[in-house]
Amino acid sequence: MWGMPHEDEALEQGLHELTTTDDPVRALVAHDARRARREYPLTVLAGPMFGVAEELGGDWRVITLGEATPQCSRDDLAGHLRLEARAAAEPEPYLAAARVLDWERYDELVVAGRRFRIIRVEQILRLNLSGEPEPPRPTDPDPRTAPAPRYETLGPSGRAGHPEAECAELAVRFAEAVEQPGAPNEQARSDARRAARSHPVPIPMLPAFSVAEYLHDGWRSSTAACPTPQRAREALAEYLQQVAPVVERVDEPTRTAYDRAAARLLAGRLDALEVCGRRFRIIRVEKAARFGEDGPEPPRPSDFDPDPPVEVLALRLRAEGVIED
C-alpha cells in the first residue's frame, strides 16, 4: 500500500486548497479523490475496453469508447468513416477505407490525410479493505437526463488536469496488478510489460459507472459501462422490470417486488439496492489509456478478439447455411 499522509493532515490540506484556490471546483474534485484513495485503497484491473480515436495535432480525440473487443471498435470506425463520407467533398476515400475494414483487420488507418486508431483503455475498480467497490463520488456529474456526448482528448492536453503524481501512481498500480497471483496468462503479462515501455504514461479519463451484484464469492459487474450513475440506475431498473421477469421466469410476488424496487431505485437515486435476497450496487469505474510517443496504446496481441470482420463472418455463415444471400 502506498504511503498516505495522516488523515487529519490530508483533511487540513484539502480544506486549505478549497479556501485558497482560484478553482474551487477542481480543488473539491481533488479533495474527493484523496478521500476515495484513503477509503478505497485497493485497485483491481477489470479488463480493457476499446474505442476509436483521431489524431489532432499532438493530441488524439476519442470518438467512440466502450466496446468489449477490438473488432467491435473496428466496426465502429467503419461506420464512422461512412458518416464522414456523407459530409466530405470527396467521399470515396472514406468509403474505400470502410470497405477495407469490412474485410480486413486494421488498428490504424490514414484516410484523406486523417489518422484514425483503435485504442485500448484500461478499466480500474477501487475496493475498500472489505472488498466492497467504490460507489459514485459526490463530485461525479449525475444529471437526471442523458448528457450530450463528450469527446475526451488523449495527449499533452489530456494530461493538463492530472498531476504527474496521479499518472505515476497509476503506472505503479498497473505494474503491480500484472505481477499479482491470478493475473492474466504469460502472454498477457508479456504484452503488459511491453506496453509499460512503449506507452509508459497512463492518462486518467472520465469515469464510467456500472451495476454490480454480490454473488457467493464477491461483487461482480453485471452491466456495460455507463456514462453517469443515473444511466447505470436506469440499466438496473430495466433489468429488474423487463429482463429478469422474462429470463428468470419469476413468480408474481417476485415480479412485483422487482418492479417496486426499480421504482424506489429511480425515485431515490439510490446507489445500493436489496431485493428478494439480492444485493446490487452502482459502482464507479476509473478509466485510463496508456500514451507513448506515437500516441495512445492500440490493442494488444493477447486481447480477447474472437470475431472476424463483418464480411468475412458473413461468408462463413453463408458457408454454414446460417444465412442466405
Predicted TM-score (pTM) of this structure = 0.83
pLDDT band (50, 70, 90) for residue 144: confident
Model pLDDT, residue 218: 86
Which of the two residues, 248 and 98, has the higher pLDDT score? 98
Q: Which H or E run contains 200?
A: none
Q: How far is CA 75 from the centre of its chain?
A: 18
Q: What integer is the mean pLDDT of 218-223? A: 82
Instruction: Name the DSSP letter for residue 274.
Output: E
pLDDT exceeds 90 at position 22: no
CB 147 within 8 A of CB 228: yes
Q: Among 11-20, 91-100, 139-148, 246-255, where is mean pLDDT lowest?
A: 11-20
Q: What integer is the mean pLDDT of 260-288? A: 95
Model pLDDT, residue 96: 98
List the one residue out of 211, 191, 195 whose CA is nearest residue 289: 195
CB 184 within 8 A of CB 174: no
Q: Among 86-90, 183-187, 260-264, where is mean pLDDT lowest?
A: 183-187
pLDDT in tens, 9-21: 444 554 454 545 5
Alpha carbon distance, N-terminus to C-terminus of the chain: 59
CB 47 within 8 A of CB 123: yes
Q: Among 60-69, 126-135, 313-322, where is mean pLDDT lowest?
A: 313-322
Please give the grid coordinates belonging to residue 214.
454480490
Distance CA 118, CA 50 (A): 7
Angle (deg, nearest 10), helices 7-20 and 24-39: 170
Instruction: Kindly give, in sequence order, each residue whose CB lies less than 8 Å from that of residue 311, ignoring residues fewer than 6 positions away.
Output: 102, 103
Distance CA 262, CA 278 (A): 13
pLDDT band (50, 70, 90) for residue 161: low
Q: Among 44-58, 85-99, 131-145, 147-161, where is mean pLDDT lowest?
A: 147-161
Q: CA angle at residue 164 from 162 to 165, to 5 degrees?
A: 100
Distance CA 324, CA 319 (A): 9
128: how many CB neighbours lie within 10 A of its CB?
A: 14
pLDDT band (50, 70, 90) for residue 4: very low
Distance CA 99, CA 325 (A): 19
If you average pLDDT over every residue of the chain, what do you get? 86
List the one residue out of 302, 300, 107 whose CA is nearest residue 199: 300
Is the four-CA dihedral 181, 183, 189, 195 of positive or negative sign? negative
- Domain spans of the chain? 1-39, 42-206+287-325
53: how many CB neighbours lie within 10 A of its CB?
A: 30
List the one residue out of 34, 292, 61 whose CA is nearest residue 165: 34
pLDDT in tens, 59-114: 999 999 999 999 999 999 999 999 999 999 999 999 999 999 999 999 999 999 99
Instruction: Name the DSSP letter for residue 37.
Output: H
- The C-alpha cell 444485493 sits at 279
Model pLDDT, residue 149: 66
